[in-house]
A = this chain, B = another copy of it.
């Protein structure tokens, strides 16, 4: 048996997620970090792992690079996807494809047939627990999903400057839940959303700090999503799928497995893990393994550009519903 060729990968972007991906590439069997491009930290990040500091042009052009991870700022994603595909590379791109639907459509059009080599990094799909719920639903364990409740709460709001370029709660945060909803119950036909603001600074800028959305799927399933930008207990990411035969739920991890009891009661554990990089560390490793498999033609993208577009459509419709008090229908992709 011959060993598969090593997949040579470049990382575009040297921020937090770029660093996470670069480290994981060095730890993934069959993957090699060739270089890092873009951002003021690219040189330092590359040298930490003995890789090269690339120009962005070079990363897309070099023939000896098989795949790229796109962790550049959001506004470059669509362009970088197209150029990477033109360079013959497999792609893992952070969400969103773009905040603007027209640009996403243009990107999809430009990518064309190569879309089966582009993975959108909806990280929760790669998490072992969410993946297990997905697989167990497909295996029929609870019958058809009739109701889905998703609760996502972040430990604290992001910095004001980030919020202002993020596209708002629906496109920045709830987009993950929209994708998970579609992953678990399929296409969505209508959505109603309400939002609230409890942070004066964010409120003054017109940004929501919490929201609730109700979705109806083609299948008839009802989906409820609850979001908050802050949560005293930490990173809270739960999902509960309900069908005629039972319920499957994902609960929150804690840093240790210690339980304490005393005269005040029983304490089941520490606060939840407070950072996404820790909560989804396995998911991020699996994203790279998946990219390697997609680059080799062994797997189809677990989340496609089409999935990225569909989640954005829902986010835009949710924003309109929350603003108008009405519901949006006819969302079926």
Contact = CB atoms under 8 A, between A and B. Distances in A.
A192 B322 CA distance: 12
A245 interface: yes
A155 B147 CA distance: 15
B253 A257 contact: yes
Given A214-B192, A271-B264, A258 B198 contact: no
Interface in A162-214: 190, 192, 194, 196, 198, 210-212, 214
Given A196-B220, A327-B192, A232 B27 contact: no
Interface in A302-333: 325-327, 329
Interface string A264-294: 1111111110000000000000000000000
A87 B55 CA distance: 47
A146 interface: yes
Contact of A244 (B212, B232, B253, B259): B232
Contact of A216 (B142, B194, B258): B194
Contact of A233 (B133, B211, B247, B250): B247
A259 B268 CA distance: 9
Number of this chain's copies in the assembly equals 4
Contacts of A272: 261, 266
A85 to B, nearest CB: 32
A228 B242 contact: yes
A263 B246 contact: yes
A242 B220 CA distance: 29
A232 B257 contact: no
Given A212-B214, A233-B261, A265-B270, 16 more contacts: A27-B27, A128-B256, A146-B198, A147-B212, A147-B226, A149-B149, A196-B220, A198-B244, A222-B226, A233-B247, A245-B262, A246-B260, A246-B262, A250-B258, A251-B258, A265-B267
Q: Enumerate the 9 nearest inter-chain pairs by beta-carbon distance, A residue then B residue, closest first.
A: A246-B262, A268-B268, A233-B261, A129-B256, A129-B257, A266-B268, A232-B263, A249-B259, A132-B256
